[in-house]
Structure 1
């Protein structure tokens, strides 16, 4: 058979895994048939490969439903047609259910009636661990209540619950991996919406964050935020900031904590972290406008570390954000001073000779210096200007958010 003919014949049986998978957080049986409760993955390459494609089906719909509190799970699929070896010269369809199930703990349901019959058990669900923070979010005119709990892996029942919850990571966090839950140095912060059904309090999971306590010589720890996920129905409502701040609040008065780090932060997480850290630093005397305009100081680094557990690199970034906020960019002198300060920091990677840089810079002209660094001067200047603009644009968005909050 002509390969091009076969390819054309099979093309209707290819679909995008991101569109084919339909997630739901089910609170009531009516949610199962309500399209408004459906959400989709951001990525499926960790399930279906780099192309994120599923082969062998027409009109494929893969249903992955979770009960909103206990995360009891239902997995099934529907399609209008499927390739078969008899019709398509021995070609087989992908085993989609197996590909999905391989990344899920055992015990999920494939019978929808059985899944629905278990929904009533969510009424008796109580969040794991200790309540650390409660707050409200107003959305579409409705005031919704949320609670954040802190727990450890030894909390009865939480290990199994976490195995179900972490399956979402593969669909929303690039290069995600499941953690070693046997290590008791892990901390977990879980966010739930608390609502009422028939007058009774109910819970629906909204997101979670994991923190690992690394040892820091000689007698300290250095907590590292490892994973954070806010589920799509709850995104852009401030829950990530609330979880991070709740974690921070438990660190401030602990003398055994040296500082807080983050593991490979995504761009969105870093923006949220900058917003939270900048809001906290704004309250410190060391970060007041008159001091910010004088430049980054040892006092700022000390205050950020000892009062807020912020490490030096992050403290410097917060300083740059708050200095821009304090700078009158219509004042030529202030604007120039800010621009020079940022570009001076951006230029550090070009200073390949470390401590010797100051020595050689005094003996070379600008052109000779650029040649010594093996980077054309024009290219370096263009890089600094473009990067400066990108950074300040991102800082301005955080400043706008600070003003609103």
Structure 2
């Protein structure tokens, strides 16, 4: 029994009503915990306490492939109406609002679902395969698939998959999967167990295709999640690069963007785009000291569907890599090149101040001028520059390790 892999989520609240913790396991049973996370879902947030229970534990078991779900709530005791006429929080109801119907609360039924995991196969079309080496466990094989909502069984699978967003991304929300402009990209681990080939869900991405006049589309990354047991192994970069290459092959795609990207996503995108651009002729090392050029913009757009803003960041990272920062002249030229871009918002503030002088009363003008003090602007600009360069150096180091 339990011969296949499970994804096990346990929300455990201590008896003293301290912050609940969400534990994520990956294993054949309750064998080990890969990482521990505080709950940051939409319904039970990081510092939200469930009232009225002692020894409360919420258990969610997912089969690793099809994500068939076992849901259980356990506690040693809970308050009754006799306790100041107050009812305990409806914890089970909150979780039921998130997980789709079709789950089971019976362990025997879940065992039967586990036995069917050998029949699970990844949805959609295979885009890319790759391996990851682990010094202790050896080689692991992974596959990236593109799926359609019309794939048999995928709609129900996606409903189960997207529940992970609620457990691990605080501002997450579900999408309207019935809109045919959505594309779905999935990562699976392919592994063998007792002579059978099985698949485990690793992560996924959703992309919405916006219309661009007159006959183009602009794919926009909406959601991206690598499940915690697989984080830190490079799967995010593999997924983003595979998705980027897929859209590059479509003539009607204008460029590829992201919806409200997080800081971590921007770092990931920088890494992937630098990898893709570093061999383009316009980004050759001898061209970089000449500055950001129209040729770079055009080639990045035509060959890789990268817009001007993202191409500029790629240029700055590659130029930093090619610059001897111990050489005072080269370092100064690079610093001025980056600060010229960063100065844009401050230049806008100066234009706004000029307009204010014409319409504000003296006491109001003094207030706004204090906010735009020139010395403060220079200090903020220098800090922004140092932060940018520090981030760029991390990208360059990561590129070097993957060379």
TM-score, L = length of structure 2: 0.87
Whether 2:278 is the aligned partner of 1:282: answer yes
Task: Flag structure 1 segments of 5+ consecutive residues without an equivalent.
Answer: 1-10, 359-370
Question: Which SS does the other structure have where 2:201 is aligned?
Answer: strand
**Aligned with 1:59 (options 55, 58, 75):** 55
State how far apart, in whole Å, the 2-side matches of 1:357 and 1:194 are: 60
Shift of 1:25: 5.0
Match of 1:226 among 222, 226, 239: 222
Kindly indicate whether the alpha-carbon contact (under 8 Å) linking 1:54 and 1:94 is maintained by their aligned counterparts in 2. yes
Q: Deviations over 1:37-94 (max 9, x none)?
A: 6x555543511257332222233221111001111101112233333333x4233322
> How far apart are 1:135 and its partner, in Å?
0.7
1:378 aligned onto 2:375: yes
1:16 corresponds, among 14, 19, 25, to 19
* CA distance 1:342–1:400, shift in 2 (3 Å): same
- Equivalent residue for 1:106, pick from 101, 110, 114: 101
Q: Which residue of 1 aligns with 2:308?
A: 312
RMSD over aligned Cα atoms:
2.3
**Residues 342, 381 of structure 2: 8 Å contact kept:** yes
| Equivalent-residue separation in structure 1 for 2:179 and 2:350 (angstroms) | 40
CA contact (8 A) 1:351 1:373 kept: no
Any idea what SS the aligned residue of 1:65 has? strand
Q: Which of residues 371, 374, 392 is equivalent to 2:389?
A: 392
- Say whether residues 1:263 and 2:263 are aligned partners: no
Superposition deviation, residue 173 in structure 1: 2.1
Query: Secondary structure of 1:250's partner?
Result: helix
State how 1:79-98 maps to structure 2 within 5 Å.
Answer: 79-86=75-82, 88-98=83-93
Among 195, 199, 203, the residue aligned to 1:207: 203
**Offset, 1:123:** 0.4
Asked if the contact 1:25–1:67 (Cα under 8 Å) also holds between the matched residues in 2, the reply is: no
Equivalent residue in structure 1 for 2:401, among 398, 401, 404: 404
Contact 2:24 2:33 in 1 (8 A): no
Alignment partner of 1:235 is 2:231: yes
Name the structure 2 match of 1:122.
Answer: 117
Which residue, out of 129, 135, 138, partners 1:134? 129
Is the 1:45–1:52 Cα contact (8 Å) retained in structure 2?
Answer: no
Q: Secondary structure at the match of 2:287?
A: helix
The count of aligned residue pairs is 375
Q: For the residues of structure 1 that align with 2:370 and 2:318, how far apart are their CA atoms?
A: 32
Contact 1:25 1:65 in 2 (8 A): no
Aligned to 1:344, which of 340, 343, 353?
340
Alignment partner, residue 161 of structure 2: 165
Would the alpha carbon gap of residues 96 and 41 (structure 1) be closer, same or farther in structure 2, given more than 3 Å must change? farther
Segments of 5+ residues of structure 2 without an aligned counterpart are 1-13, 355-367
Q: Is the 8 A contact 2:24 2:229 kept in 1?
A: no
- Shift of residue 316, structure 1, vs aligned partner: 0.8
Query: Following the alignment from structure 2 to structure 1, what is the Cα–Cα distance between the partners of residues 393 and 38?
Result: 27
Q: Helix, strand or coil for the counterpart of 2:33? A: helix
The separation in 2 between residues aligned to 1:346 and 1:339, in whole angstroms, is 10
Task: Give the TM-score normalised by structure 1.
Answer: 0.87
Other structure's SS at 1:14 match = coil
Cα distance between partner residues in 2 of 1:68 and 1:173: 20
Deviation of residue 267 (structure 1)? Answer: 1.1
Of residues 70, 87, 90, the one that matches 1:74 is 70
In structure 1, distance between residues paired with 2:193 and 2:41: 38
Deviations 1:183-212 (CA, angstroms, capped at 9, x unpaired): 111111110000001111000000001111
Does structure 1 conserve the Cα–Cα contact (< 8 Å) formed by 2:23 and 2:33? no
Match of 1:298 in 2: 294
Indicate if the aligned counterparts of 2:26 and 2:33 stay in contact, CA closer than 8 A. no
More helix by share: 1
Using the TM superposition, give the Cα deviation of residue 177 of structure 1 relative to its aligned residue in structure 2, in angstroms: 1.2
Residue 208 of structure 1 contacts residue 228 of structure 1 at CA under 8 Å; is this kept in 2? yes
In structure 2, do the counterparts of structure 1 residues 286 and 296 end up closer, same or farther at CA, with 3 Å as the change threshold? same
Report if the CA contact (8 A) 1:42-1:171 is conserved: no
Structure 1 residues 62, 357: CA separation in 2 closer, same or farther (over 3 Å shift)?
closer
Q: CA deviation at 1:160?
A: 0.7
Counterpart position of 2:147 = 151
Inter-partner Cα distance in structure 2 for 1:245 and 1:353: 37
Structure 2 CA distance for partners of 1:348 and 1:34, relative to 1, 3 Å? same
CA contact 1:45–1:51 (8 Å) conserved in 2: no
